[in-house]
Structure 1
Amino acid sequence: MKRVIFFTGAGVSAESGVPTFRTGSDAVWENHRIQDVCHIDTFEQNYDLVHQFYNQRRTALAGVEPNTAHRKIAQVQQGAPERVILMTSNVDDLHERAGSPRVRHIHGNLLEMVNLDSREIIPLHYEAFDYTAQQGRFKPNVVFFGEIAPVYAELFELMNSLTEEDLVVVVGSSESVIAFCAEAYIGSQAAATILYVDPAPTNTYDRQSITPYNKHYRISATEAFAEDSELVHLIEQWLA
C-alpha cells in the first residue's frame, strides 16, 4: 500500500508568521536565550520567565492563520486518512486548524500545560495561563532541550518502516535538530522517495557525499503546495 508521510518543521509555520529560532542552546529566541526559556536544566530557576515567555507565544497564536501548505496537507490527509501520516516538530496548532485529522507533535503542544505534581495534562486555548493562581507546579507541555522526547521512539519506528512504497515529504525543516531526510533515507535503506521543501539556498547536506533526498524544492512551502504545482501533482499521483 502506497503511503505519503509528511514531516513538517518551523519553516512551514514561519510562513504564517510564527517566529522561529536559531538552533543551539545559546541561540536567541525573541530576545531570550533558549538556554533560559527552553532548557530543562534552567527551568526551575527561570520558572516565572518561562511561563511569561510561553504565555506570550500562546496568546500570539490567536493572531496567525494556517497557510496554503497547512491546508493542502490537510486536504491530502482527509482524502486518504489511512495512507497519509503527518508528524510535526512544531508546537502550534496550525495543522489542526487547517483540518488535518491526525497530527503527531514530536516536541509537544503549546496549547497544553502539565501539572508536574499530578502529571495531569491541562488543555488550553489562546490565553495566558495564570500559574500563580493554582496549587502545584506547572510546565508547558513542550519538550525542552535536555529532555527526552517521548515521541522519538515512534518517529524512528516509522522511519525504519519506510519502503519503496512510501513518499516522504519534508517541509520547512532546517534538518539541524531532526534530520528528517537523512533518517528517512537510512531507515528505508534508500528505498523511499524523499522530497525536501525548503527555500534556503544551501543546507547541511550540500557538504556531504550522499544526498538523502530525491529532489530539493528551493521554494517556500506556500509556493510548493500551490494548486497545480509539481509537488502537489506528484503527491496526488502517488496516492491515485
Structure 2
Amino acid sequence: MRIVVLTGAGISAESGLRTFRAGDGLWEEHRLEDVATPEAYASDPSLVHRFYNARRSATSQAQPNAAHHALAALQQQHDLTLVTQNVDDLHERAGSTQLIHMHGELAQALCASCGHRWSSPAEMDVTTTCPSCRKATARPDIVWFGEMPYHMENIWKALENAEIFAAIGTSGQVYPAAGFVQHARRNGAHCIELNIDPTAVSRDFHEHIIGPATETVPEWVKEL
C-alpha cells in the first residue's frame, strides 16, 4: 500500500516540544516572525541564533513518543513516504528512514554565502564559519517564512501516487503543506486527518480521528 504521511508540530508536542503557534505565539517577547524570517536574520542574527540554539537544546532533551514509534513501524510494513514540517530529529530517533524534512533540520547548518551544508554544532553564533568558504555566514538550515520548502517535487509526486494520505498534528494554516490534502484527494487518495482539534482544512479530508497523537496514531497504524 502506498501511503504518504505529513506530520506537524502536534506530533512532537507530546514529547515536550512547544508548537510555537500555541498561546501568545511569543518567544522572549518576540514574534515568531521576528526570529524565523530572512529579514530577521539580516536584522539581528544573534537573536535568531539564540532562538535556534534554544530549540536544539530542547530537542536534545526530548524523546520520541508512541506516535513517532508507530510511524516507524508502519514504514517497515508499507510503502510509506514520511514528510514532516518539523525540524527536530524525533522521527529518526524512533527508527524512521528516508524522511523528507520539508522545512529543514535543526541538526544542519547552511552557509548563506556559498550554500554549503554541514552538521550543526549544538550552539551557533555570528562567528560560526562555513567549513567550505570560511566565511562567518553560517545560519540554521531551516526554511523560514518567505522561503521555498525543500523537496517539493518529490513530495508532489508521492502525493500523486498515494493510496492513502494522512496528516498528523498539523494546523493546516501554512502553504504549500495545507494544500497537500487537496492534491492527494484529486489523485484518488483516501485522506485522513489525525489531530487534537479540527483544522482549517478539515473539510477536505474523508475521515477524521480526533485525539492526542500518542493515542490515535498507534491505533490507526494497528488498524492498517
TM-score, reference length from structure 2 = 0.87
Equivalent residue number for residue 93 of structure 2 = 97
Equivalent residue number for residue 172 of structure 2 = 175
Equivalent residue number for residue 22 of structure 1 = 21
Equivalent residue number for residue 219 of structure 1 = 211
Percent of aligned pairs sharing the same letter: 32
Kindly tell me: are residues 30 and 84 of structure 1, through their superposed partners in 2, closer, same or farther at Cα, counting changes over 3 Å?
Answer: farther
Matches within 5 A, 1:181-192: 182-189=179-186, 191-192=188-189
Identify unmatched segments of 5+ residues in structure 2: 130-134
What is the rounded CA distance, in whole Å, between the counterparts of 1:175 and 1:114 in structure 2?
27
**C-alpha contact 1:20 1:29 (8 A) present in aligned 2:** no
Q: Secondary structure at the match of 1:110?
A: strand
Equivalent residue number for residue 77 of structure 1 = 75
RMSD of aligned alpha carbons: 2.2
Equivalent residue number for residue 238 of structure 1 = none
Equivalent residue number for residue 111 of structure 1 = 107
* TM-superposed deviation, 1:147: 1.2
Q: Are residue 232 (structure 1) and residue 221 (structure 2) matched?
A: yes
What is the rounded CA distance, in whole Å, between the counterparts of 1:148 and 1:41 in structure 2?
15
What is the rounded CA distance, in whole Å, between the counterparts of 1:179 and 1:140 in structure 2?
21
* TM-superposed deviation, 1:116: 2.1
Q: Secondary structure at the match of 1:173?
A: coil
* TM-superposed deviation, 1:7: 0.7
> Which residue of the other structure, out of 24, 32, 35, is the alignment partner of 1:34?
32
Identify unmatched segments of 5+ residues in structure 1: 236-240
* TM-superposed deviation, 1:219: 0.5
**C-alpha contact 2:8 2:171 (8 A) present in aligned 1:** yes
Kindly tell me: are residues 69 and 178 of structure 1, through their superposed partners in 2, closer, same or farther at Cα, counting changes over 3 Å?
Answer: farther
Matches within 5 A, 1:119-158: 119-124=115-120, 127-132=122-127, 134=129, 135-158=135-158
